[in-house]
Structure 1
Amino acid sequence: MARCEQISTPVDTAVDAVIARMRALDAALPARDGLAVFNRVYLAVTEAVDRCVDTGGFADPGAAVTLDVRFAERYLAAVDAAVDERPLPACWRPLFRFRRHPGVRPLQSALAGINAHIGHDLALAVVDACRTLGCEPAALEDEFDRVGDLLVSLEERIREELMPGLDLLRVADPLTHLLGAWSLERARGAAWTAARALWALRGMPDVAGEFTAHLDAAVGLAGRMLLTPLPD
C-alpha cells in the first residue's frame, strides 16, 4: 500500500498541544458536566495514541499523528464555538445542550460525544489529513484501523466504569436498552465509508457540502436519542 508523503512539521508538537488543551479543559470543568465526561474519555484516547506512536505501534507515525491531530481539532473547534456562542455542528448540539441535565447519566454523555466525534468528525478528519499529507484515504487505512481498535477497547472500559451497579437496575435496564442501539464498530465503519465518499466528491463541492450536512444532521439525531433523560 502506498504511504503518505513525509511532512516537514514536527508532529510531536501538535499532539502535545492537543493533549495540553484537553488537560486544561479537564481541570476547568466540573466533574459531572457531560462535556467533562467526554473530554476525559477523549483525553485518554489521545494519550493512548501518543503512547502507541512512541512505542512504534504505527507503521507510519507521522500519518497517525496527523490524523489524530486533525481529528482532535474538530472537537476543539466545537468547544471554541460553544465558548464564543457561535453555531455548533448538529452532531455536537445534543451534548452541549444536555451536558448538565440531571436525568442524563455520565455514560450517555460519554457515548454521545463519541457518537458525534466518530460519526461526523472522523470522516472529515480523514479528508483533512489526506489533504495535509498529500495522499489518498487508502494510505491512511492502517492508521485509521489502529486508532479505531484503541477506541473500541476504551469504549468497553468506559461502559464497565460508568454503567450503574446492580443496585440500580431500575435505571440500568432502560439505560442498557437505550445504549444497546448504538455501536462504535458500526459508527467506525460508516465513518470510513463517508471519508472515502467525501474524498471522491472533493471535485464537486456542492454535492460534498450536501453530503456533509446530511451526515451531520443524522449523527446529531442519534446523539439526541442517546441523551434521552432517564428517571431517577
Structure 2
Amino acid sequence: MTTAWRPDPLDVEQVLSRMRGLNSVLPHGDGVAVFNRVYLSVTEEVRRRLAAGAFADPRAAGELAVRFAGRYLAALEDDLAGRRAPACWRPLLLFRRHPGILPVQFALAGVNAHVGHDLALAVVDTCRATGCGPRALEGDFDRIGEVLTSIEERVREELMPGPDLLEAADPLTHVLGAWSLARARDAAWAASRLLWALRGVQDTYEECATRLDAGVGLVGRFLLTPLGPQSSGSSTGAISW
C-alpha cells in the first residue's frame, strides 16, 4: 500500500472518505484492515447520530470525532512514511500479518490503542480548539462511548471463532476477557482530565502522555498474543480467514 501524505481531515465526511479508501487498498485479512472496518462502522454511526441531533453540542462532538479519528490516521501516515508511530499502535502495526493472531484480537487491539490513548488526547485537543474544559464534553463523550460499546459487542459476536476453534484456542477467552472497553473509556476520561489540568506544565504533561502511550501499547501487545491455529507461523505470513 502506498499513499501520499494528506492533511488532517476537517470533518466527519473526510474521515469516512479516508477510511473507505483504506478499506479499498488494504488486504482483507491485514490486522489494520480488520480494525479499520470496525472503526468505519463506529464513525458511520456517529455521523448518523450527529445528523439526528443526538448530541448536546453537535459542533464540539463533531470536533471530538474528527480529532479522535485524526490520531489513528496520523499513526498510519507515520508508519507508511517510515516514522515511528505512537507506542500504542506499534503492536498492531508490527503484528498485522501474523497468521496466529485472530481477527477479534486485531479488532480489539486497535480499539485498545484508539480508546486507551487517542481518545484522551483527542479530548484535550478538542478542549483547546473549542475553548471549553473536559466537563463541558462529558455528556457527548459518554454518547460516543455508547456507540463504541455497541460496536464492541458486535465485534465479539461476529469475530470470535466458532466452538471448534475456540476449544483449541481456549486461552483466547482469558486474554479477551481481561480487557474491558468500559474500563478503557473510564481510564481515558480520567487521563484527559489529568492532562488538561497539566496543560500549563509542559514537561509533566509530556511525561504523562508518553507513559499513557507506553502503557496502552503494553496492553495491546498482550491482546495480540498468538492464539490461533497457525500460532507457530512467522510474523510476516499471510492471514486467511
| TM-score, structure 2 as length reference | 0.90
2-structure distance, mates of 1:149, 1:83? 32
For the 8 Å contact 2:169–2:227, the answer to whether it is kept is no
**Residue number among 54, 60, 79 corresponding to 2:51 in the alignment:** 54
Alignment partner for residue 40 of structure 2, among 38, 43, 48? 43
Matched residues in 1 for 2:76 and 2:68: separation?
13
In the other structure, the counterpart of 1:64 is: 61
On the 8 A contact 1:164/1:172 being kept in 2, the answer is: no
Alignment correspondent of 1:191: 188
The within-5 A match list for 1:139-158 is 139-158=136-155
Counterpart in the other structure of 1:82: 79
Partners of 1:217 and 1:127 in 2: how far apart? Answer: 18
The residue type paired with residue 21 of structure 1 is R
Q: Please tell me the residue identity of whatever aligns with 1:71.
A: F
Name the CA distance, whole Å, in 2 between partners of 1:154 and 1:116. 16
* Structure 2 residue matching 1:59: 3-state secondary structure: coil
Cα deviation digits, residues 113-170 of structure 1 (max 9, x gap): 0000000000000000001101010000011000001101110000000001112233
CA distance in 1, matches of 2:87, 2:217: 5
For residue 149 of structure 1, what is the amino acid of its counterpart?
Answer: E
Distance 2:38 2:168 in 1: 22
In structure 2, how many angstroms separate the alpha carbons of the residues matched to 1:231 and 1:168?
8
RMSD, aligned α-carbons: 1.1
Q: CA offsets, 1:61-117, max 9 Å, x none?
A: 111100000000000000100110100110000000000000000000000000000
Q: 1:43 to 1:231 in 2, by over 3 A?
A: closer
Change (3 A) 1:133 1:88: same
Q: Is the 8 A contact 1:38 1:110 kept in 2?
A: yes
**CA positional deviation for 1:231:** 4.4
Q: Does 1:204 align with 2:201?
A: yes
Match of 2:170, SS state, is: helix
1:32 aligns with 2:33: no
- Give 1:135's aligned residue: 132
Whole-angstrom CA distance in 1 between matches of 2:168 and 2:55? 41
- 1:172 deviates by 4.3
Provide the C-alpha distance between the structure 2 equivalents of 1:163 and 1:231, rounded to a whole number of angstroms. 11
Structure 2 residue 112 is the aligned partner of structure 1 residue 122: no
Distance verdict in 2 for CA 1:171–1:55, change over 3 Å: farther
**Runs of 5+ unmatched residues, structure 2:** 1-8, 230-241
1:169 lines up with 2:170 in the alignment? no
**Matches of 1:13 and 1:86, distance apart in 2:** 23
| Structure 2 SS opposite 1:161 | helix
In the TM superposition, what is the alpha-carbon distance from 1:42 to its structure 2 partner?
0.5
Corresponding residue for 1:5? Answer: none
Distance in 2 (alpha carbons) for counterparts of 1:209 and 1:94: 22
- List, as ranges, runs of 4+ consecutive aligned residues in structure 1 with deviation greater than 2 Å: 169-172
The alignment of Structure 1 onto Structure 2 pairs a total of residues equal to: 221
Whether the 8 Å CA contact 2:176–2:223 is kept in 1: the answer is yes
- AA in 1 matched with 2:195: L
CA distance in 2, matches of 1:202, 1:158: 35
Q: Between the two proteins, what is the percent identity of the paired residues?
A: 64
Normalised to the residue count of structure 1, the TM-score between the two structures is 0.93
Q: CA deviation at 1:13?
A: 5.9
- Report the Cα distance in structure 2 between the residues aligned to 1:139 and 1:71, rounded to whole angstroms: 17
